[in-house]
Amino acid sequence: MAFFFNRGRSRQPADVVRSTKELLLRVQEAPNTPKADEELAKQLGQMKVIVQGTQDPELFSGLVWSGLDWNAWLTMASRFRDQHIPDQVHALIQATLQEDLLYDLSRSIHLLPFEARKDTQTIFSHILRFRPTSYAPDKDPPVISYIVHHRPEILIELCRGYTHSQSAMPCGVILREALKFDVVTAVILYDQSQEGEAAVRLSELKPNAPQNGNGVFWNFFEWIDKGNFEVSADAFTTFREILTRHKSLVTAYLASNFELFFGRFNTILVQSDSYVTKRQSIKLLGEILLDRANYNVMMAYVESGENLKLCMKLLRDDRKMVQYEGFHVFKVFVANPNKSVAVQRILINNRDRLLRFLPKFLEDRTDDDQFTDEKSFLVRQIEVLPKEPVDRSRPSREAQSGVNTAAVV
C-alpha cells in the first residue's frame, strides 16, 4: 500500500477553484461536451472533499508512511484532518469569493451532470454555514454577509434555478439553507431587479415601499402553478419557508403589499387547477392568517367579502381535503367579533343555507373532536347574527385595507 503515500502533496484550494472556474466557463460556452463535463465533475468532487472532509485515508497524501500499524495511522490521519480541514475550507472560500465562483455556479447548475449538481449543492451548503474557529457564534456566517452586502445576484440566480427542472431541487436545497438567515429572506422579498440587472443590496432595502410585483419573489407564483410536479413541489417548499420562518420581517412585508400579495395568492394558488397546489396553498393561507404575528393582516383579510365568497366556494369543492383546509379559513371569518358589513351581509343572506349545510359538512370525520366542536361553534355564531348588518368598524382601522401598518411593523 506504499503507493498510497508516495504521491505529491494535494493541490491547493485556490488551484482547484481556478480550474473549476475555467472548466465552468467552457461548459457555459459549449454545453453537453462530455470531456469538459467529466473534468468539471472531478474538480467539483475535489471541492466537496475539501469542504466536508473525508474518511478516506488515501486522500491524505501529505502524510508520510512511517511504519505505524494501520490503527495508529488512522488516528494520525484523523488528527491531521481535524487540524487542517478548517484552514483548507477557509482558503477555499477565500478563493471562491475572489473568483466569483458561487455566482457562476448558481446560474449554471442546470448545465452540470447529475452527480456534479449534487456536489455543487453540498459545496454551497457547507460554504454558506461555515464559520472560522474564532468567529462570534451570534453573527451571520461570513459568506452570508458577503452575499447580501456585495453579491446578492447569487441568491437571485439560485431562485431562477426553478426555471429549469434539472436545477430546481439542488437550488431549492441551497436556498433553504440560506433562508435560515433573515437577511437572505429580506433580499429575496425586496429585490425587484430584472434579468441582467444588479440585485438589491441589503443596505439598499426600502421595507415600507410597496413592491411592483416584478421581482424574483413574485415569480414563485408561476413556478408553483405552472412548473412540472418536481419544480412546483420544491418551489412551494421554498415559498413557504420564505413566508413562515422570519415572522416580523414577513408581517411588515405583507402589510406593505397586502392587496398585491393576496390578490395573486387567491387567484393563482388557491384557485389553481393543480389539486396539490390548491390544497397546500389553502393550508398555508390558514397558517399565515392564524399566526399571532400576523393578527393585523388576518383582520384585513377577513374584512373582505370577496375573500369570504372564495372560502365558501372551497367548502363545496369536490375534494374533501380541499373542503377541510377551506373550513379552517372560513371559520376565521365567522369567529371574528368585528365582522365588516360586507361579510355580515353575505353570512346573513346565506344563513339558512349555512345552517343546513354545516351540520352535515364532512360528517364522516367522527374521530376529530376539535373539528366537530368548531362546526358547532360556527353554527351558533351564524344563528345569532342580526337580521341586518351592523357597522362594527374599529376606530383605528384604515379606510381601505384595514391594516394598521404602523402596528404591524
Give CA 308 to chain center in angstroms.
28
- 234-246 average pLDDT score: 97
- Confidence band, pLDDT 50/70/90 cuts, at residue 32: confident
- 315-320 average pLDDT score: 95
pLDDT at position 408 over 80: no
What value does the mean pLDDT of the chain take? Answer: 87
Structural contact between residues 177 and 124, judged by C-beta atoms closer than 8 angstroms = yes
Sequence-distant (≥ 6) Cβ neighbours of residue 170 within 8 angstroms: 109, 117, 118, 120, 121, 161
- 390-398 average pLDDT score: 58
Structural contact between residues 110 and 146, judged by C-beta atoms closer than 8 angstroms = no
The per-residue DSSP string of 128-174 comes to HH---TTS-TTSPPHHHHHHHHH-THHHHHHHGGGGSHHHHHHHHHH
- 31-38 average pLDDT score: 88
Lowest mean pLDDT among 1-5, 207-211, 262-266, 289-293: 1-5
Query: Tell me, what DSSP letter sits at residue 403?
Result: -
Q: What percent of the chain has pLDDT over 90?
A: 74
Nearest to 407, CA basis, from 389, 394, 390, 393: 394
pLDDT in the model for residue 227: 85
pLDDT in the model for residue 208: 85
Lowest mean pLDDT among 1-10, 74-83, 196-205: 1-10
Identify residue 336 by its one-letter amino acid code: N
Nearest to 104, CA basis, from 40, 157, 169: 157
pLDDT in the model for residue 406: 29
pLDDT at position 296 over 50: yes
- Confidence band, pLDDT 50/70/90 cuts, at residue 4: very low
pLDDT in the model for residue 88: 86
pLDDT at position 400 over 70: no
Helix or strand or coil: residue 212?
coil
Q: What is the pLDDT of residues 124-142, one digit of tens each?
A: 999 999 988 777 878 899 9
pLDDT at position 186 over 50: yes
CA distance 303 to 306: 9
pLDDT in the model for residue 11: 73
Q: What is the pLDDT of residues 371-382, one digit of tens each?
A: 999 999 999 999
Lowest mean pLDDT among 85-94, 309-318, 364-373, 380-389: 85-94
Helix or strand or coil: residue 181?
coil
Lowest mean pLDDT among 138-142, 273-277, 303-307: 138-142
Q: Length of the chain, please?
A: 409
**Boundaries of every domain in the chain:** 1-130, 135-245
Structural contact between residues 393 and 345, judged by C-beta atoms closer than 8 angstroms = no
Structural contact between residues 126 and 88, judged by C-beta atoms closer than 8 angstroms = no
Q: What is the pLDDT of residues 71-86, one digit of tens each?
A: 655 555 555 454 456 7
Q: pTM of the prediction?
A: 0.85
CA distance 88 to 355: 69
- 352-356 average pLDDT score: 96
Sequence-distant (≥ 6) Cβ neighbours of residue 47 within 8 angstroms: 13, 16, 17, 20, 92, 119, 123
pLDDT in the model for residue 64: 44
What is the distance in angstroms between the CA of the first residue and the CA of the last residue of the chain?
66
pLDDT in the model for residue 66: 46
Q: What percent of the chain has pLDDT over 70?
A: 85
